[in-house]
Protein backbone atom coordinates (compact mmCIF):
# COMPACT_ATOMS: atom_id res chain seq x y z
CA UNK A 1 0.00 0.00 0.00
CA UNK A 2 3.00 2.29 0.38
CA UNK A 3 3.55 2.24 -3.40
CA UNK A 4 -0.10 3.08 -3.95
CA UNK A 5 0.16 5.95 -1.49
CA UNK A 6 3.28 7.27 -3.24
CA UNK A 7 1.56 7.04 -6.60
CA UNK A 8 -1.52 8.90 -5.32
CA UNK A 9 0.73 11.59 -3.84
CA UNK A 10 2.49 11.96 -7.21
CA UNK A 11 -0.84 12.24 -9.06
CA UNK A 12 -2.04 14.87 -6.58
CA UNK A 13 1.16 16.87 -7.12
CA UNK A 14 0.54 16.80 -10.88
CA UNK A 15 -2.95 18.19 -10.35
CA UNK A 16 -1.43 21.10 -8.45
CA UNK A 17 -0.89 23.69 -11.19
CA UNK A 18 1.78 25.49 -9.14
CA UNK A 19 3.94 22.33 -9.15
CA UNK A 20 6.81 22.44 -11.63
CA UNK A 21 6.98 19.25 -13.73
CA UNK A 22 10.19 17.31 -13.22
CA UNK A 23 10.13 14.82 -16.11
CA UNK A 24 8.85 14.38 -19.64
CA UNK A 25 6.11 12.11 -18.26
CA UNK A 26 5.02 14.89 -15.88
CA UNK A 27 4.79 17.32 -18.79
CA UNK A 28 2.88 14.81 -20.92
CA UNK A 29 0.32 14.30 -18.15
CA UNK A 30 -0.12 18.03 -17.57
CA UNK A 31 -0.44 18.77 -21.28
CA UNK A 32 -3.05 16.03 -21.61
CA UNK A 33 -5.23 17.99 -19.18
CA UNK A 34 -4.41 21.44 -20.59
CA UNK A 35 -3.35 21.06 -24.25
CA UNK A 36 -3.94 24.71 -25.19
CA UNK A 37 -1.55 26.18 -22.60
CA UNK A 38 1.37 27.79 -24.42
CA UNK A 39 2.99 28.44 -21.05
CA UNK A 40 3.08 24.72 -20.32
CA UNK A 41 4.38 23.88 -23.80
CA UNK A 42 7.11 26.52 -23.47
CA UNK A 43 8.12 25.12 -20.07
CA UNK A 44 8.33 21.69 -21.70
CA UNK A 45 10.63 23.10 -24.41
CA UNK A 46 12.78 24.77 -21.74
CA UNK A 47 12.98 21.46 -19.85
CA UNK A 48 14.67 19.89 -22.87
CA UNK A 49 16.86 22.91 -23.56
CA UNK A 50 18.22 22.73 -20.00
CA UNK A 51 19.45 19.23 -20.84
CA UNK A 52 20.82 20.35 -24.24
CA UNK A 53 18.25 18.26 -26.13
CA UNK A 54 17.47 20.85 -28.80
CA UNK A 55 15.86 18.36 -31.19
CA UNK A 56 13.42 17.25 -28.50
CA UNK A 57 12.58 20.88 -27.66
CA UNK A 58 12.00 21.53 -31.36
CA UNK A 59 9.77 18.47 -31.55
CA UNK A 60 7.73 19.67 -28.55
CA UNK A 61 7.21 23.06 -30.24
CA UNK A 62 6.03 21.48 -33.48
CA UNK A 63 3.70 19.16 -31.58
CA UNK A 64 2.32 22.14 -29.67
CA UNK A 65 1.56 23.98 -32.90
CA UNK A 66 -0.47 21.03 -34.19
CA UNK A 67 -2.13 20.32 -30.83
CA UNK A 68 -3.24 23.78 -29.69
CA UNK A 69 -6.71 24.58 -30.97
CA UNK A 70 -6.84 26.85 -34.03
CA UNK A 71 -9.17 29.09 -32.01
CA UNK A 72 -6.33 29.82 -29.57
CA UNK A 73 -4.38 32.14 -31.85
CA UNK A 74 -2.42 33.87 -29.05
CA UNK A 75 -1.38 30.54 -27.55
CA UNK A 76 -0.14 29.33 -30.95
CA UNK A 77 1.68 32.62 -31.51
CA UNK A 78 3.45 32.28 -28.15
CA UNK A 79 4.75 28.82 -29.09
CA UNK A 80 5.70 29.96 -32.59
CA UNK A 81 7.74 32.84 -31.16
CA UNK A 82 9.37 30.35 -28.77
CA UNK A 83 10.25 28.10 -31.71
CA UNK A 84 11.72 31.03 -33.65
CA UNK A 85 13.83 31.98 -30.61
CA UNK A 86 14.98 28.36 -30.26
CA UNK A 87 16.02 28.24 -33.92
CA UNK A 88 17.72 31.64 -33.67
CA UNK A 89 19.77 30.56 -30.65
CA UNK A 90 20.43 26.86 -31.32
CA UNK A 91 19.55 26.17 -34.94
CA UNK A 92 21.01 26.95 -38.32
CA UNK A 93 20.03 29.66 -40.78
CA UNK A 94 18.09 27.00 -42.71
CA UNK A 95 16.23 25.72 -39.65
CA UNK A 96 15.34 29.29 -38.69
CA UNK A 97 14.03 30.06 -42.17
CA UNK A 98 12.00 26.82 -42.19
CA UNK A 99 9.90 28.12 -39.29
CA UNK A 100 8.38 30.75 -41.59
- Structure confidence at residue 32 (pLDDT): 94
Alpha carbon separation from 84 to 19, 35, 80, 92, 93 (Å, rounded): 27, 20, 6, 11, 11
- pTM score above 0.85: no
pLDDT at 92: 77
Read off the pLDDT of residues 54-92 as tens digits, 9 standing for 90 and up: 999 999 999 999 999 999 999 999 999 999 999 999 887
- pLDDT tens, 6-62? 766 666 665 565 667 889 999 999 999 999 999 999 999 999 999 999 999 999 999
For residue 1, name the pLDDT band (cuts at 50, 70, 90): low
Amino acid sequence: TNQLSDKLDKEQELLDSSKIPESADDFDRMIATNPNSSSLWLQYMAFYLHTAEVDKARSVARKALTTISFREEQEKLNVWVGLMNLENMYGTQDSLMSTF
